[in-house]
């Protein structure tokens, strides 16, 4: 049964509920090992579970050099998403461990959540629902999205989907990317711009880029000062993009009218003042947590494991 070795499964959606695609690994002769159901594994648990695994279907948990060095049989790490900044890539390369990504699997899910968060922010949907449940009739005046400018920082596959959705709502879209794809020019009021122009023009800004290579926050005090007063900000990309103290200060000063986030430096967050702020909408990393995204990501991750383990 275990003729080909063990494979560790850690994504919370899979450890909690499983998935039919995992049966393919069993049929191929691999023994599946699961981390604690529904919980992101820490370094100690990973070291214990990976010690004799040849494959690793990984989530967003941090995979440190210590974890990799303790996994003497490990040949491949297959992410069930596209981000790999949680992995010590230098050590993985030194140990000849192959890293695979589930390209585009979560694109639609994250893009749709982004649009949902934008509506939730500008129409105060969570606030209104909360007050109704408290049997209080309180209303906040929102804004309409038509003719408003959405700034997209990081216009890759997810950013492009968000742009297309926003344009269909009658929004203006300004995009910035370190590597600009000049062939992407969708119908509607779309334009490429430098970062300063985007910050100056945007009513709403959404982040869809990887963390900065130097480890610093992209959205810091200086960047916030260049934004419009009363801007709305969304981060469904990476927690490290945001200087939380700077964003919190801007919320209290009303420089930022509202902030929505789906990613956190520590998951789940504990006693995080940003999460608790009344003008912040926080969701528990659900961007790729759809039936379709999970199925696509799991199938791609499984295929990648079989490809490189064979």
Residues marked as catalytic: 238, 267, 285
Q: H-helix or E-strand containing 55? A: strand 53-58
Alpha-carbon separation of residue 89 from 48, 65, 309 (angstroms): 20, 9, 19
Whether the CA torsion 143, 217, 107, 187 is positive or negative: it is positive
Q: Which long-range contacts (CB under 8 A, 24 or more apart) does 90-95 make?
A: 90/65, 91/65, 92/63, 92/68, 95/68, 95/69
55 forms beta bridges with 7, 76
Residues 6 or more apart in contact with residue 30 via CB below 8 angstroms: 2, 4, 5, 6, 7, 54, 55, 309
* Count of Cβ atoms closer than 10 Å to residue 65 Cβ: 14
What is the spatial distance between Cα 159 and Cα 101, in angstroms, rounded to a whole number? 18
Number of helices (H), then strands (E), belonging to the chain: the values are 13, 12
H/E stretch holding 175 reads strand 172-176
Six-digit token pair at 182?
């000049």
Inter-residue contact 72 to 96 (CB < 8 Å): no
């Amino acid at each position: 049964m275990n003729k080909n070795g063990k494979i560790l499964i850690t994504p919370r959606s899979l450890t909690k509920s499983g998935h039919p695609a995992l049966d393919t690994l069993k049929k191929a002769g691999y023994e599946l090992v699961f981390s604690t159901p529904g919980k992101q594994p820490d370094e100690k648990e990973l070291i214990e579970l990976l010690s004799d695994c040849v494959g690793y279907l990984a989530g967003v948990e941090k995979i440190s050099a210590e974890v990799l060095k303790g996994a003497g049989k490990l040949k491949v790490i297959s992410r069930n998403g596209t981000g790999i900044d949680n992995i010590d890539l230098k050590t993985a390369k030194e140990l000849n461990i192959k890293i695979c990504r589930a390209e585009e699997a979560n694109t639609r899910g994250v893009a749709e959540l982004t649009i949902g968060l934008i509506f939730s922010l500008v129409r105060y949907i969570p606030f209104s629902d909360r007050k109704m449940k408290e049997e209080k009739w309180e209303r906040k005046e929102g804004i309409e999205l038509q003719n408003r400018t959405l700034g997209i920082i990081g216009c890759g596959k997810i950013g492009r989907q968000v742009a297309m959705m926003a344009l269909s709502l009658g929004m203006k879209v300004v995009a910035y990317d370190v590597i600009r794809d000049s062939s992407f020019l969708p119908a509607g009021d779309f334009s490429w711009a430098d970062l300063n122009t985007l910050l100056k023009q945007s009513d709403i800004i959404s982040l869809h880029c990887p963390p900065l290579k130097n480890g610093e926050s992209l959205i810091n005090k200086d960047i916030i000062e260049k934004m419009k007063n009363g801007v709305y900000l969304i981060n469904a990309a990476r927690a490290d993009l945001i200087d939380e103290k700077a964003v919190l200060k801007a919320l209290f000063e009303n420089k930022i009218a509202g902030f929505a986030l789906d990613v956190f430096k520590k998951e789940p967050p504990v006693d995080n003042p940003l999460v608790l702020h009344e003008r912040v909408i926080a969701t528990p990393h659900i961007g790729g947590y759809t039936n379709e995204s999970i199925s696509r990501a799991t199938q791609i991750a499984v295929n990648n494991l079989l490809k490189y383990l064979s």
